[in-house]
């Protein structure tokens, strides 16, 4: 599902995707991301029963004492070295591939840090994670957080990031080469007949088989629980008594999981754009679909007030704007639009949909989206929407893809059982998804089938995270967040025993560093002085 948050550019106040705020990532393109981050149980009544079970099940804290079998990992001394980025140093640590059998082999974890600049008393390390799963935390801290977080925070904290297992520099999972991913991202994600459904299923199978062939053993050990346990090794190696952490989007699930496993070691945790770990994937996917519809309606209302809106003029209702966009998507389904792409790719319905969804992550991208839609709809040039889609998939100009989409699937499909098991189950759910979003619902429903063909069985289930005994944890929710609906922040805050809910009344995905001085001051006060906000505080 689309829950990832991407790094922001280091310049300015932020922008969507290589522009000025959050680049859209948070969970991935239609084929690869929906239903991945939080895939849940199977069909029908099983979804209801899983949700009921999650209401009772809670993540159990690990023993406070470090097991003897893990002592060598906790006692590592990192060999810091320069890594080609001014001000940063890098190191590699080891963690057990399988925590149940530490002697069965290691996995290498890459980390980076930028030492606190001063003045002021050092506060230790501040780990950051931009979401995904699959987003590179190292890339994020080196390109944005380590130089773009508030100066007073960087003055007191060593800014630290570790790429989670299977991600980027930490033994990355790889599934397809560039041409293979091009074919995958262009697959029709809204099949109209049996032949197209078979093509979509074949694409999912090919993707999954590629991942299984590349790292059959690793795929069994890239869960969020294992990544959270890795963070505790990092904490110890850095010499910190408690973990201080800022996680966005999927990073909130990672941070909450850490707090649930190690409540006594949870320091100042900010969970921005929160997820609800208690819901099965189909419910999460459906609620996220509604979240994108909410964001699209905000875009639609703004679009028709602009002179260059290609989807309707002043007074056009959001419903009509959505119908016009849907009609454009359907036209692309049979007649893709040319682009300036050097590899000859045309703008297909699937690529255009991903491009539009990418722009929903940040209202700062709405102008770019209007321009891209105008070019595609009126000038027969799909280049602008292709740029948005490529940025979301992290495809570079040479046709190479980052590890983002591969890790995204690997983590999501392991964390929870698949949302749907068969195409028939998806067809049965289409009315509910279309109701949640007339524009995006059908594509997001079919994208939820991805994990059905994964080569490794899921090891996780929906569950509550209470983290009893943890210090105050700040949970941040944005009222019109497309990827992590506000209700999820309310739900997570209701589960965590020490949570303080901080609300941003606005658009876009996540809130910290997006221009609200109220949000930023509140979070900075918590990080610097340990002063959490009053539960229920609201900012705009």
Q: Annotated catalytic sites, by residue?
A: 249, 481, 509
Q: Which of 429, 443, 410, 412 is nearest to 43 (CA)?
A: 429
Per-residue CA distances from 28 to 43, 53, 149, 493, 498 (Å):
23, 28, 25, 26, 31
Name beta bridge partners: 266.
Answer: 243
Cβ atoms < 10 Å from Cβ of 51? 17
Alpha-carbon span 145 to 516, nearest angstrom: 17
- Farthest CA pair distance, the chain: 68
Distance CA 353, CA 485 (A): 20
What's the rounded Cα separation, in Å, for the pair 483 and 274?
10
- H or E segment and range at residue 377: helix 366-378
Assigned token pair, 290: 């509604």
Closest CA to 387 of 400, 399, 372: 372
Number of Cβ within a 10 Å radius of residue 193 = 8
Angstrom distance (rounded) from CA 239 to CA 531:
23
Strands 473-480 and 266-272: parallel
Residue 160's region, left for phi above 0, alpha for psi from -120 to 50, else beta, is beta
> Are 513 and 22 spatial neighbours (Cβ–Cβ below 8 Å)?
no
Nearest to 371 by CA among 384, 361, 359, 382: 384
* Token pair belonging to 397: 């100009």
Residues 287, 503: Cα–Cα separation, whole Å: 19
Q: Answer for the pair 516, 531: CB distance below 8 angstroms, yes or no.
A: no
C-alpha Rg value of the chain to the nearest Å: 22
Contact between residue 400 and residue 394 where contact means Cβ atoms under 8 Å apart = no
């Amino acid at each position: 599902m689309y829950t990832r948050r991407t790094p922001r550019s280091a310049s300015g106040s932020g922008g969507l995707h290589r522009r000025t705020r959050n680049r859209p990532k948070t969970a991935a393109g239609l084929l690869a991301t929906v239903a991945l981050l939080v895939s849940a149980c199977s069909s029908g009544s099983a979804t209801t029963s899983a949700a009921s079970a999650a209401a009772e099940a809670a993540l159990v804290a690990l023993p406070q004492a470090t097991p003897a079998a893990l002592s060598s990992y906790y006692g590592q001394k990192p060999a810091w070295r320069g890594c080609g980025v001014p001000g940063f140093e890098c190191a590699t640590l080891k963690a057990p591939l399988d925590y149940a059998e530490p002697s069965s082999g290691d996995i290498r974890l890459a980390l980076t840090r930028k030492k606190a600049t001063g003045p002021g008393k050092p506060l230790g390390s501040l780990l950051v994670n931009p979401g995904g799963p699959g987003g590179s935390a190292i890339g994020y801290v080196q390109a944005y957080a380590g130089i773009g977080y508030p100066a007073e925070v960087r003055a007191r904290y060593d800014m630290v990031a570790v790429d989670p297992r299977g991600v980027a520099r930490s033994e990355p999972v790889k599934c397809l080469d560039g041409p293979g991913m091009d074919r995958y991202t262009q697959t029709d994600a809204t099949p109209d007949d049996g032949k197209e459904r078979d093509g979509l299923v074949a694409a999912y199978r090919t993707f999954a088989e590629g991942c299984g062939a590349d790292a059959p053993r690793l795929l069994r050990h890239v869960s969020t629980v294992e990544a959270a346990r890795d963070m505790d090794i990092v904490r110890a190696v850095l010499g910190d008594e408690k973990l201080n952490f800022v996680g966005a989007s999927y990073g909130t699930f990672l941070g909450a999981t850490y707090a649930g496993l190690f409540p006594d070691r949870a320091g100042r945790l900010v969970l921005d754009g929160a997820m609800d770990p208690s819901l099965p994937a189909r419910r999460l996917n459906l609620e996220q679909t509604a979240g994108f519809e909410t964001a699209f309606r905000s875009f639609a209302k703004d679009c028709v007030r602009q002179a260059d809106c290609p989807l309707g003029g002043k007074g056009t209702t959001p419903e009509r704007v959505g119908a016009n966009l849907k009609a454009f998507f359907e036209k692309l389904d049979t007649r893709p639009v040319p682009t300036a792409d050097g590899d000859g790719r045309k703008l297909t319905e699937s690529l255009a949909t991903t491009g539009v969804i990418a722009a929903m992550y940040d209202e700062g991208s709405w102008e770019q989206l209007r321009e891209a839609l105008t070019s595609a709809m009126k000038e027969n040039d799909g280049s602008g929407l292709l740029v948005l889609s490529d940025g979301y998939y992290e495809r570079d100009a040479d046709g190479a893809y980052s590890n983002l989409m591969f890790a995204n699937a690997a983590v999501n499909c392991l964390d929870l059982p698949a949302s749907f098991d068969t195409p028939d189950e998806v067809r049965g759910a289409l009315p509910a998804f279309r109701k949640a979003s007339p524009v995006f619902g059908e594509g997001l429903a079919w994208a939820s089938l991805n994990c059905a063909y994964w080569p490794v069985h899921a090891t996780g289930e929906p569950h509550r995270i209470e983290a009893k005994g943890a210090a105050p944890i700040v949970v941040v929710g944005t009222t019109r967040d497309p990827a992590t609906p506000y209700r999820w922040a309310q739900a997570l805050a209701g589960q965590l025993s020490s949570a303080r809910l901080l609300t941003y009344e606005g658009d876009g995905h996540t809130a910290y560093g997006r221009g609200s001085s109220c949000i930023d001051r509140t979070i900075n006060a918590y990080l610097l002085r340990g002063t959490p906000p009053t539960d229920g505080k609201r900012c705009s």
